[in-house]
Copies of this chain bind each other. A is one copy, B any other.
């Protein structure tokens, strides 16, 4: 486990649920942080040096849960040492890094994954099966948002705000990457053109002089801040072309009060439409023209094809955010255990594609117009 933040905990718990994988070691930005994490999470080894961990012969795979700027060096070193790599999204700082990681991993023959865990809510997989089976008809229009409010105030601060740690795209990179990955994963169509605008509402933010845990510093005392000029986006809006025919729009925001983790999408086809909201992850809405609309409360007996395999509990027993990680990790480690099975999770190729989309968004914002993807 590389990284000791909130995602490090989520990954550790999800791995342990599998029953056939152990969490052996953790690295942090300091030996103390790593040690504290190891103690809290009952992990044997810890280190302030990730370089040490990625060389550990006892270790088969690493999970990269650090600021984005570290993804590439960590992954490259891990691959060089023959470790399998599961990396958080956005995969890298730019598409060149991602391409390099993909090439290295393929060459070395290690298993590689980008953690687009949000694909793995059971009813979301049902949408994918519906589309694949032609139940939506041809996709005409998509829309939605990924909106949060944890950076609403100029006193909100986190490493993601800083372009050096995070890359230039913040809301778009952190959550917009999920939105675009999801819509393509579900429809089986690629985003072919974008017309985007990115906005930084808080041109300056007040950075606390001490340290802040992501998401939790909601009632910080206004003393002892440092004024920091901000270059990363609070909000973005994008028009998209999806495949040849479909059109759409989405927004991303980290300043939309009342939205805690509101990832919403709607997909309208020639036969029916669907709508989903991560804040009610077990529910799926299916819109019809000539018959009543439909809602599914997650129930394996109502899910199509392979979608039922992503639901481990009976109908109406909610499966949450942690469960989506478990589903992805299970498939990642099954692949490691048995290289003959097909890949059933997002790889570095998906992460690379995501970086190219983010670069197109940046280019579109800069030129104030449409940008086509190659």
Contacts and interface: CB of A to CB of B under 8 A. Distances in A.
A282 interface: yes
A301 B152 CA distance: 15
A78 to B, nearest CB: 23
B255 A268 contact: yes
Interface in A182-241: 195, 197, 199, 201, 214-216, 218-219, 234-235, 237-239
A319 interface: yes
Contacts of A296: 292-293
Interface stretch (A52-60, A87-95, A269-277, A347-355): A269-277
Contact of A279 (B13, B148, B285, B316): B316
A256 to B, nearest CB: 4
- How many of chain A's residues touch chain B, expressed as a range? 35 or more
A47 to B, nearest CB: 18
A266 interface: yes
Contact of A370 (B43, B237, B368): B368
24 contacts: A10-B313, A140-B201, A141-B199, A141-B255, A149-B273, A195-B368, A197-B247, A215-B315, A256-B266, A256-B273, A257-B268, A257-B269, A258-B273, A260-B314, A261-B315, A279-B283, A279-B316, A279-B318, A284-B292, A285-B295, A291-B302, A319-B320, A320-B323, A322-B323
Interface of A: 6, 9-10, 12-13, 16-20, 41-43, 140-141, 143, 145, 148-150, 152-153, 195, 197, 199, 201, 214-216, 218-219, 234-235, 237-239, 245, 247-251, 253, 255-262, 266, 268-273, 275, 278-302, 312-323, 368-370
Enumerate the 8 nearest inter-chain pairs by beta-carbon distance, A residue then B residue, closest first.
A258-B287, A261-B316, A260-B316, A320-B320, A318-B320, A260-B315, A19-B42, A215-B314
